[in-house]
């Protein structure tokens, strides 16, 4: 039986076991996918012991993504650019490899629902944390030429823009308003709007171009206040759940040997677990 895991701290709310479990059952694979709580101080030891643990690999989530990147043998291109690892597997000779599939998940979600996003050139990103980093990498890979990062803490948006070079500019949260008229894609990567948390005021989406696409990485609630505001201004939107579903695909394929599909049935199944 092939085994995979997700580890983080805390990990009990992770939806990854729900979605990988769905695929294992659907595809009739004799395998398992379990959540392993590992505290930050124990994580390096956990990684060292992995090769003799019987796992094919697994997912890494908060707060271990950056530590994983620093402690694996071979990072893939996305992991190097993002500086974080969310997927682990072993090469044929037993080397521990790490990838980052968050950027892939972000792009694949937009590809599924609004493929015209790839025609865009300019993007406005709210937030400058780990998720923002993966999304900026995805946008650069997709050929975006101007990416503005607006963040509550200016220092973090400047650091991120410097990391990715001249395609990016940075500003404080309020700087978003100067970029909203020209952005083809507008992304919220912050937790503002999650579970009713609305202490910051979003830039006025009424100023956006009529064909601008608006997306949010928060999926609790599925229709966030940001997406709702976009809809009220007749803008097309994509919710954040698909990023979670699509980022899981490459790992599952590596561990269990079959590339699974992101279907409506999977989406419904995960939504039911979310609402439980
Ligand atoms: P993640 O890895 O999920 O991106 P993170 O690294 O903690 O998480 O980043 C969270 C992002 O949400 C940051 O951009 C953070 O802004 P700061 O850099 O100023 O902390 C942003 N964020 C979180 N809560 C916020 C709030 N109440 N108002 C505005 N921005 C907020």
Mean pLDDT of 51-66: 96
Mean pLDDT of 22-42: 98
Report the pLDDT value the prediction gives residue 200, as an integer from 0 to 100: 74
Mean pLDDT of 28-38: 98
The tens digit of pLDDT for each residue in 71-84 reads 999 999 999 999 99
pTM here is: 0.96
Residue 52 pLDDT exceeds 80: yes
The tens digit of pLDDT for each residue in 164-195 reads 999 999 999 999 999 999 999 999 999 887 76
The tens digit of pLDDT for each residue in 111-136 reads 999 999 999 999 999 999 999 999 99
Ligand 1: atom nearest CA of 156 is 18
For residue 128, report the distance from its CA to the centre of ligand 1, in Å: 7
Ligand 1 lined by 101 (C-beta under 6 Å): no
Q: Which residues are catalytic?
A: 65
More confidently predicted of 250 and 220: 250
Q: What is 101-160 written as a DSSP string?
A: -HHHHHHHHHHHH-GGGGG--EEEEE--SHHHHHHHHHHHHTT--EEEEEESSHHHHHHH
For residue 228, report the distance from its CA to the centre of ligand 1, in Å: 20
CB 91 within 8 A of CB 61: no
Residue percentage of the chain with pLDDT more than 90? 94
Residue 161 pLDDT exceeds 70: yes
């Amino acid at each position: 039986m092939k085994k995979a895991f997700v580890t983080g701290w805390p990990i009990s709310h992770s939806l990854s076991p729900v979605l990988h479990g769905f695929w294992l059952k659907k595809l009739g694979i004799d395998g398992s996918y379990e959540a392993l709580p590992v505290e930050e101080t124990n994580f390096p030891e956990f990684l060292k012991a992995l090769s003799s643990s019987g796992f094919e690999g697994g997912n890494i989530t908060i707060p271990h993504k950056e530590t994983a990147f620093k402690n694996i043998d071979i990072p893939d291109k996305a992991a190097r650019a993002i500086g974080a690892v969310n997927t682990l597997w072993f090469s044929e000779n037993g080397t521990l490899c790490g990838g980052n599939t968050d950027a892939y998940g972000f792009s694949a979600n937009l590809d599924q629902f609004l493929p015209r996003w790839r025609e865009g050139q300019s993007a406005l990103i709210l937030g400058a944390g780990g998720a923002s980093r993966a999304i900026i990498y995805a946008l650069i890979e997709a050929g975006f030429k101007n990416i503005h990062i607006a963040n509550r803490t200016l220092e973090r948006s400047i650091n991120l823009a410097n990391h990715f070079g001249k395609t990016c500019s940075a500003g404080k949260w309020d700087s978003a308003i100067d970029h909203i008229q020209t952005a083809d894609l507008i992304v919220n990567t912050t937790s503002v709007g999650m579970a009713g948390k609305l202490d910051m005021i979003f830039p006025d989406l009424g100023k956006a171009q009529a064909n601008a696409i608006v997306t949010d990485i928060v999926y609790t609630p599925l229709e966030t206040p940001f997406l709702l505001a976009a809809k009220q201004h007749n803008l097309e939107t994509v919710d954040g759940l698909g990023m979670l579903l699509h980022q899981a695909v490459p790992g599952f394929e590596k561990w269990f040997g079959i590339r699974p599909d992101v279907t409506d049935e999977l989406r419904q199944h995960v939504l039911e677990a979310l609402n439980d």
